[in-house]
Structure 1
Amino acid sequence: MHVREVGDAQTRRQFLELPVQLYKNEPNWIRPLDQDIEGVFDPKKTNSSGMVKPFAGCSLATTAPLLAG
């Protein structure tokens, strides 16, 4: 498994679309706003006191990317 940081527009979109694929058959799931998810990984918006650096990563697989946040 190769994990790399989500740093470009394509992997960012894949990262945000992963829950849509996972929960597409779950009628009670409500998709959060993309800006809310992105805000979790924005150091300017996350109050972590410098102790924790938010990280969004993805694993590049042979068939489809597996993304983790």
Structure 2
Amino acid sequence: MRIQEVSGKKLKKAFLKVPKILYKEDDTWVCPFDKEIDSIFDPDKNVYFKHGEATRWLL
């Protein structure tokens, strides 16, 4: 098992795919739009980045 920082298009797509794999059998789960998730990690769109940083990781 390894942990990897999400950087680049390929890993970004993999990051967005994880919840879809985890919850594919859950009929009540509503998948957020990829753009919505991307905006959370975009310093220009998320006001909390004025006070800190965030890094995405894949396991």
Q: Which TM-score band (shorter chain)? A: 0.7 to 0.9
Q: Which has the higher helix share?
A: 2
Alpha-carbon RMSD across the aligned residues, in angstroms, is 1.5
Q: Which has the higher strand share?
A: 1
Q: In the comparison of the two structures, how many residue pairs are matched?
A: 59
Unmatched 5+ residue regions in structure 1?
Answer: 59-65
Q: CA deviation at 1:5?
A: 2.4
Q: What does residue 24 of structure 1 align with? A: 24
Q: Using CA pairs below 8 Å that are at least 6 residues apart, which structure has the higher relative contact order?
A: 2
TM-score by length of 1: 0.74
Per-residue CA deviations over 1:4-52 (Å, capped at 9, x if unaligned) read: 3211111001100000010010000111000000000000001025221
**Percent identity of the aligned residues?**
31
TM-score by length of 2: 0.85
Unmatched 5+ residue regions in structure 2?
Answer: none
Give runs of ≥4 in structure 1 deviating > 2 Å. 1-5
